[in-house]
Chains A and B, each alone.
Chain A
């Protein structure tokens, strides 16, 4: 049972939380698929008829989305690892305050793993990946020819 394990768990939780933060922010601003306003359409549906978006690698918002995408892809693996490590650590002896922290971190890691078994996790991954691609390469039939 070490402080390093707790720090890793805390970093995971904050990284995952910030990825969700950026997902919600992307949902608020920017261009989305579909004609309705349901979150499902905004993430999964194609752009409205006749709409194209020009991508640019220089878009600062795109870089943040890219980072969030990397976190969203790696989070389930890291969460599974840190949940397991936390479980192992909690079987041993340790200082009470460290035990408390690792217990909380382990529960949080389990919650993150569980989220990836629901549409919440997949939507996070799909949405952030699609918006990253959209920011960099654009989307739609005229994406390349837009000035």
Chain B
């Protein structure tokens, strides 16, 4: 038996319903932008500074192959920890986040504010670029550095 009281009509008749807040959509945007930012700051930028600008890769004849733990100083290594996770499982999870973006935009884009909608498209676009980058040779090189 259903014990919950049945509410007919509005719960508070004199108060207008608040506009939807789209908390899940906002969290999705934040997660997409945060993971791409962490990947860039924790993996791509250090690799550029440590190796690419010196004209080498992480594997050279002088030093052998250097894993992130060998070359990054202590505090920076903490920044690399999320980047390592994102480089490994980020691309498949990014595909799932894109599916969620699509579903949310398809169902409710008209109720969203102009700003929120624009950010959904931007975050989705950046995520597509991220997935594409991880499949290119430089992206694979970064993954190999991290898996070393």
Contacts and interface: CB of A to CB of B under 8 A. Distances in A.
B107 A101 contact: yes
B140 to A, nearest CB: 5
B98 interface: yes
Contacts, number: 48
A96 B108 CA distance: 11
B103 A24 contact: no
Contact-residue size bin, chain B (C-beta under 8 Å from the other chain): 20 to 34
A108 interface: yes
Interface residues of A, number: 21
Contact of B109 (A38, A100, A108): A100
A22 B95 CA distance: 10
A104 B104 CA distance: 10
A20 B95 contact: yes
Contacts of A96: 110
B130 to A, nearest CB: 12
Given A25-B92, A104-B105, A105-B106, A39 B99 contact: no
Interface in B97-133: 98-99, 102-103, 105-107, 109-110, 131
